[in-house]
Homo-oligomer: A and B are copies of this chain.
Amino acid sequence: MNSVKVGVIGAGRIGKIHAANLLRLPRVKMIGIADLYANEALQDWADERGIPHVTKDNMEIIHNPEIDAIFICSITDTHGPLIMEAARAGKHIFCEKPVSMDIAQTQKAVDTARECGVKLQIGFNRRFDHNFKRIQAGVQAGEIGTPHIVKITSRDPNPPDEGYIKGSGGIFMDMAIHDFDMARFVCGSDVEEVFAIGTVLVNPVFAQYEDVDTAIITLKFANGAIGVIDNSRQAVYGYDQRVEVFGSKGSLAANNDFPNTVEISTADKIYRDKPLNFFLERYNEAYIEETQLFIESIQRNTDVKVNGNDGLQAELIAKAAQLSCRLGKPVKLKDVIALSQVTL
């Protein structure tokens, strides 16, 4: 089996994480990295790791004939166009979520990848988390019978800064989108209808951008199950990422991950340390595994674990949640689709 040659577009935090994880894999070669702001520091970073090409021009990476696969880690606005460009250049594509803020564009990007016969994996890394994989496997194996209720708790330890909030696309598209994908993943079903309530309790700055920082989203699934997600931009005790699926024969429930299992008993109380701090710590192994499995799907020519439709569906739910929260009533995904088509 030949090595897979990879180029990365976007050398921010997540781009560098993927690059570092790729460098550890056998039969993978990092060929180049592109970033609009590529500078000497990035050149040094690449040199230390033996990555030959550093460029400011994404096209140099996409059209490099040596490269088999592209990791798109640049800002969201660029995802759709880059997917299409890379797909037409015959490259396999790993793209960070969301594909775009615009359903029609996402649809077009996903279609293009399919038409060009290249693999497209979306960066829903949480599917590769040891806890959530276990839940999904249990549901799929019938360990709890038919799913009835899906419950997801997803709270960040700290809100992002104002600059980030401004361009984030809002809590549903930026943060809850992971939970929407998780809901589909563990339930094994698409979502048909969404009701969302949201409020600003953490920081008034969210209100300035017509965003909320605290939300509860109710879901109706195509398979008849119902679900609920609660989100907060600030859990002071740390990253809170729990999933529960309740079914006809029982339930599967994942608690958080902790840095250690030590319980400390004192005259005052019984305590333990806070959970793993944030996504880099909590999903460290999941990032490694999503990269590895993407490469394997190329090497073995198998389906990717998170495909373009998964990206599209999560975005549809996010759009429905946005609408629902503003309108104060439930929104069906088919209506979001209809609305999106109008704008095409």
A-side interface residues toward B, CB under 8 Å?
24, 26, 48, 130-131, 133-135, 138, 143-144, 146, 148-149, 151, 153, 155, 195, 197, 199, 201-202, 214-216, 218, 220, 224-228, 230, 232, 234-238, 240, 246, 248-257, 259-275, 328-330
Contacts and interface: CB of A to CB of B under 8 A. Distances in A.
Given A251-B237, A255-B263, A218 B216 contact: yes
Given A261-B131, A262-B131, A249 B267 contact: yes
Nearest to A243: B262
Nearest to A234: B248
Nearest to A212: B226
Copies in the complex: 4
Given A236-B250, A255-B261, A263-B255, A197 B195 contact: yes
A272 B273 contact: no
Nearest to A250: B266
A270 B272 contact: yes
A134 B220 CA distance: 34
Given A252-B263, A253-B262, A270-B275, 16 more contacts: A130-B260, A133-B260, A138-B264, A143-B264, A144-B266, A151-B230, A197-B226, A201-B225, A215-B226, A236-B267, A237-B251, A254-B260, A269-B271, A270-B272, A328-B330, A329-B329
A155 B265 CA distance: 13
Given A218-B197, A224-B201, A266 B249 contact: yes
Contacts of A274: 265, 268-270
Contacts of A235: 246, 251, 265
B232 A250 contact: no
Contacts of A253: 262-265
